[in-house]
Structure 1
Amino acid sequence: MTSERTLSVHWDELFLTHRMSNGTYEFPAREWLAIDEPHPERPERLLNIKSAIDRWLPERTEYRSVQPATEAQLTAVHDPAYLEEIRNASRRGGERVTASTEVTESAYRASAAAAGAAAAAATETLEDDDVVPYAMSRPPGHHAQPGMADGYCFINSVAVAAEHALDTGRADSVAIIDWDVHHGNGTQECFYDRDDVLVINLHNDFGAWGPNHPQTGDVDERGEGDGTGYNVNVPLPPGTGDGGYEYAYDRLIEPIVSAFDPDLLLASAGQDAGVADPGGRNLVTKDGYRSIAARTRALADDHADGSLAIVQEGGYQLSHLAFATLGVLEGALGVETEATDPFGVLEENEELAAEWIDTAAAACEDHWDLP
């Protein structure tokens, strides 16, 4: 392994074609609102990230073309009948499937391409640990369950990537760290009874979102059958801040991933815990994201032969998302650019965060040896 890693961006302009309409959608912890403004999950999210990469990391970056996930890759995770429903809805020109999530004419093609980008990123890092593969894709995927769309998500890209690595024999075990501020309920659902995929979710405690999102993300959702103990939920309070995430890595993530010793580490990288994001208010700065990714990189180097791939999930404040994601990429590459966080540091609530993290740790102590 080398400190001269390059960034391999799996990207296609098809990701920009999916645009949900204005109207009724939900911000967590708020009432249902009819909002006459662009939907928060919109193409400009990726355009701003791409601009940041092209400005601050051009000499380290190579762009990769994207092939959509195959039917076999998709049906390894999702019910065939469900996939056909989403395809047909796209062919009909689109329809709303939940209050916040709309199948558009291009939703299926963009989602299949996003899953293909994630699978290719996983394959690339398993074959070459001198690169940091990044699926700069949308729609996001971590809320998509095997048979249900949810939370702006239609196909679970990180789950497709994990399953592809296992099915092709490139990996015998995969760890997924999801630091999106919203619980990755779909990823949890995909692997809930499995012991070959460790799923760790750090998220705000929003609770269940209704029939389309029945999982709560609580600490007692620990997996079932063979998967008992391999689903780790770490609910966090607003204001957790950089220090709170550092403590979560100290207390839970590093010891659990180290003990699991995966062949592949996947980051479900949603930067909506950022200081300016409307979705969570967890107050993570660009420096905080650099630290999160650097510690994730170190785990991959120590326990997965350097195999780390990053899959884009949420993040909805267009300006800060670009800086936060740049921080993630800096941490994963082991570099630091001159870009500074324009939003600064707000007051954190590390003490409360530590109490919540200790509660999550107590729920895991019968399965994992924790400090």
Structure 2
Amino acid sequence: MATSSGRAILSPPDLQPAAKDDGIDVFWHEGMLKHNTGRGVFDTGMEPDFLDVLENHPENSDRVKNMVSILKRGPIALFVSWHQGRAALISELLSFHTQEYIDELVEADKKGQGKIICPGTFLNPGSWDAALLAAGTTLSAMKHILDGHGKITYALVRPPGHHAQPTQADGYCFLNNAGLAVQLALDSGLNKVAVIDIDVHYGNGTAEGFYRSNRVLTISLHMNHGSWGPSHPQNGTVDELGEDEGFGYNLNIPLPNGSGDRGYAHAMTKLVVPAVEEFRPELMVLVVGQDSSAFDPNGRQCLTMEGYRKIGQIVREMADKHSNGCLLIVQEGGYHVTYSAYCLHATLEGVLNFPAPLLPDPIAYYPEDDAFTAVVVESIKKYHKQFVPFLK
């Protein structure tokens, strides 16, 4: 099969999703590629004169170009429907962010000179327009579900968003795409939304936005990295459970470095599934970051395609059971330009419940030992039983 560009789509194996009418509605806008994060030493922007070769900032457009192309020309392409994204209105941003913070970003963009908003996070010419497109595209993906036009949508967006807090940017993120979409669901009449974040870093911005709400269950599986400064004051530890009515509805699952496929599956089964079972959400949101992979320059969690595929299957099963199959997937990190695209493909294969992989793993086997992870998961489970009211 050929595309309009004349480039061939890989012929998929003779496989179908578990439900034959299954598919994924992907929301995307190429204007998000105009966010230029620059070059230097990793994400610092530094250009020392003693290096001949500088690298792209890890959050660059190439990583997302590969995600787009693998969904258009990879085996899963036959099960993907494409939708044009849009820019968010300033008024829409105020459902999650403060007016003062948005005004700061608008003013910084007007100067047109580029600005370091916080370490590693650069607002250059074109960045604000891309951020508005990322937010609006995610809102469109959510509205597609809310309006009954589809059940599984994927917001393929950048810059990422899950570190952006109501009042400040953080970790390459300006606007909290997932948080805005969740708030839209609540404002549209839903009472309970569950957010599962598997990016390698703590989804601190999303957690902060709903920290005092019992209508949103935020669950973050991340490496145990702690705070990295004023822009990221949260530690992501198990005792950050929420406040006031939201106490117990923010569940952090900091996992040991190198937890791997089996470790993540164990954490999902023992911690995430029981919490969602008790919470009974009307809609599920999966926040995906392929920086949890075995070969990502920004993470050390050692997930392979098989691990992502399994996570996709588990989340789909929960969505089918609790939210009539309704699932919004929002893109976050993932900085290995090639392997991130493969791991995304595997995640969506899992969400569609294919009986066997559509793509082989190009990097293949990575040794792992999940024994330590199992001990940590059991410790977190005991902590939840002791301190989280709705899990006692």
TM bracket (short chain): over 0.9
Matches within 5 A, 1:22-33: 22-23=39-40
Report the number of matched residues: 366
Aligned to 1:50: 68
From 153, 157, 162, the counterpart of 2:177: 157
- Once residues 148 and 302 of structure 2 are traced to their aligned partners in structure 1, the CA distance between those partners, rounded to angstroms, is 34
Structure number with larger C-alpha Rg: 2
One-letter amino acid of the structure 1 residue matched with residue 363 of structure 2: F
Aligned to 2:144: 124
Question: Is the CA contact 1:9–1:62 (under 8 Å) kept in the aligned structure 2?
Answer: yes
Residue-by-residue CA offset, 1:248-273 (whole Å, 9 max, x unaligned): 11111001011101111001111111
Question: Is the CA contact 2:151–2:325 (under 8 Å) kept in the aligned structure 1?
Answer: no
From 218, 233, 236, the counterpart of 2:237: 218
Q: What is the percentage of aligned positions where both structures have the same residue?
A: 38
Residue-by-residue CA offset, 1:205-231 (whole Å, 9 max, x unaligned): 111101111100000000011000000
Aligned to 1:257: 276
Residue-by-residue CA offset, 1:179-208 (whole Å, 9 max, x unaligned): 000011111111111100100000001111
Cα RMSD after superposing both structures: 2.0
Distance apart, 1:280 and its partner CA: 1.4
Aligned to 2:55: 37
- Once residues 375 and 138 of structure 2 are traced to their aligned partners in structure 1, the CA distance between those partners, rounded to angstroms, is 34
Aligned to 2:116: 96
Question: Is the CA contact 1:24–1:99 (under 8 Å) kept in the aligned structure 2?
Answer: no
Question: Is the CA contact 2:42–2:56 (under 8 Å) kept in the aligned structure 1?
Answer: no
From 109, 115, 135, the counterpart of 2:155: 135
Range 67-76 or range 291-300, more displaced: 67-76
Change (3 A) 1:157 1:130: closer
Secondary structure at the residue paired with 1:272?
A: helix
Listed as ranges, the gaps of 5+ residues in structure 2 are 1-17
- Once residues 368 and 390 of structure 2 are traced to their aligned partners in structure 1, the CA distance between those partners, rounded to angstroms, is 29
- Once residues 186 and 25 of structure 1 are traced to their aligned partners in structure 2, the CA distance between those partners, rounded to angstroms, is 23
From 252, 256, 269, the counterpart of 2:288: 269
Change (3 A) 1:245 1:95: same
Residue-by-residue CA offset, 1:152-200 (whole Å, 9 max, x unaligned): 000000000000111122x211100000000111111111111001000
Question: Is the CA contact 2:195–2:217 (under 8 Å) kept in the aligned structure 1?
Answer: yes
Secondary structure at the residue paired with 1:318?
A: coil
- Once residues 274 and 364 of structure 1 are traced to their aligned partners in structure 2, the CA distance between those partners, rounded to angstroms, is 27
Question: Is the CA contact 1:15–1:110 (under 8 Å) kept in the aligned structure 2?
Answer: yes
Matches within 5 A, 1:136-215: 136-169=156-189, 171-215=190-234
